[in-house]
Structure 1
Amino acid sequence: MNAVHAFADDEREAVYRAIRERRDMRHFSGGEVAPDLLRRLLEAAHLGPSVGFMQPWRFLRVRDRAMRERLHALVEAERLHTARALGEREDAFMRLKVQGVLDAAEVLVVALADGRERHVFGRRTLPEMDLASAACAIQNLWLAARAEGLGMGWVSLFEPAALAALMQLPNGAAPIAVLCLGPVDAFYDEPMLQRERWARREALAGLVFDEQWGQPSDLFAGAAQ
């Protein structure tokens, strides 16, 4: 029996479907995102929860081709550094597609706003909650994009200081994501890194504990794995 405040069955299923079928996309088919749709997606992001209602997110839309190419170069430079740091997995990593900066209809750089230190509510012992809050906004955008039939990819391969300089961020602001957004030919049937056998999704039962770390949860006792 549904709780009194639950969505209707089809509405609820749509929410879970967006969650299940969201993918970190790297392959885009160009095209465009209509301004009213982009505004709607950004509004979804802006409705994200934030600790102390600080709303630390800032979105920088990158439309200029030359700027996109400079951004692409920053990502490629970090891709090489990451590949070297991976040692024996360097070659496998270099075969992965890690960005769609030059192909996506829209590119958004997400940054944490300057002046965040004045927000103490919920951050006195956990100052990183500004990042957690911005990640919630990004997830809202991601799910809304999937519901609208658009792909989105979160690129984190960049040197923060170099990207901050490129985007002329004020002192104290910090870039946390390059988001590639737009039409795709198809969504991946499973996460790309799982499809490429780079990693796999862990079983939830091994990640939920009762009472203390490492104590298996009764939620999964006898459940099929």
Structure 2
Amino acid sequence: MQITPEERDAVYKTIFSRRDVRREFKPDAIPNDVLERVLLAAHHAPSVGFMQPWDFILVTKPESKAQIKHGFLQAHAEAAERFEGERKEQYKSLKLEGIEEAPLGICVTCDRSRTGPVVLGRTAKPEMDLFSSVCAVQNLWLAARAENLGVGWVSIVHDKVIRDTLNIPESIDIIAYLCVGYVEAFHDTPDLERAGWLPRRDASSAIHYEFWPEPKSQ
């Protein structure tokens, strides 16, 4: 199957316009057919040994969101204490989640025992199943953007909070909690770049040929 130039350009547009959304969620419900397409795209992520270790828990109950938001606030306060001075105040001023604003939460998990103890491709690098589940997150994120849905990854929350709230067994790894919904607008630049937290690194600085580069002399 050949990709046309128009289809290629649409893929790149989706990649470059993807944002980590924390604000401006609209309360509009996501139509079932749209959600099914997004989850099917996530399910078609690459996976080591074709083990497909992911599951997706859809969260809509306000009481569940409230518990996760409470966990975020606790972890956020803990994190703030790890910064100092102006950086600490800037961190505290940032909007870093949309747990209760987004109409849908999606928890992505990884069942590392899904196809047994020995998995093709995981023998030398056992964490490949975790990486596979992250690929599912990326597929979901890009598919959502193609559907004009915003997605925000909430990483400032302890696993135990999500595990207890969503009744996830200890044997299952928690990969991501995502806030999903339509938004008022997508910004041209990422929130943290726009807020002056960090600039985008130039792509050329991340590309090396043949070997890891020697450190520059001072």
Return the TM-score normalized by structure 1: 0.89
- For 1:75 and 1:52, the matched residues in 2 are separated by 34
Runs of 4+ in 1 over 3 A off after TM superposition: none
**Residue in structure 1 matched with residue 14 of structure 2 by the alignment:** 18
The answer to whether the 8 Å contact 1:24/1:152 transfers is yes
For the 8 Å contact 1:107–1:181, the answer to whether it is kept is yes
Cα deviation code 1:117-143 (max 9, x no counterpart)? 624322222222122111111111111
Residues 47-56 or 122-131, more deviating: 122-131
Deviations 1:134-169 (A, max 9, x none): 111111111111111111111111111232122111
Q: Is this contact kept in 2: 1:83–1:94, CA < 8 A? A: yes
User: Which position in structure 1 is the counterpart of 2:162?
Assistant: 163
CA distance in 1, matches of 2:143, 2:8: 14
Listed as ranges, the matches of 1:1-225 within 5 Å are 6-27=2-23, 28-88=25-85, 89-113=87-111, 115=113, 118-214=117-213
Q: Which amino acid aligns with 1:179?
A: L
Q: List gaps (5 residues or longer) in structure 1.
A: 217-225
Question: CA RMSD for the aligned pairs?
Answer: 1.6
| CA distance 1:45–1:148, shift in 2 (3 Å) | same
Q: Percent identity?
A: 39
CA shift, 1:6, in A, is: 4.1
Structure 2: any 5+ residue segments left out of the alignment? none
Structure 1 residues 16-65: Cα deviation after superposition (integer angstroms, max 9, x where no partner):
10001000111112211011111111000000001111111111111111
Deviation at 1:78, TM superposition (A): 0.8
Give distance in 2, aligned partners of 1:68 and 1:52.
Answer: 34
Contact 2:48 2:119 in 1 (8 A): no
Q: How many Å separate the matches in 1 of 2:208 and 2:29? A: 45
Could you tell me how far apart the structure 1 residues matched to 2:118 and 2:104 are? 31
Q: Across the two proteins, how many residue pairs are aligned to each other?
A: 212
Length-normalised TM-score, structure 2: 0.92
Contact 2:38 2:140 in 1 (8 A): yes
- Structure 2 distance, partners of 1:130, 1:87, is 36
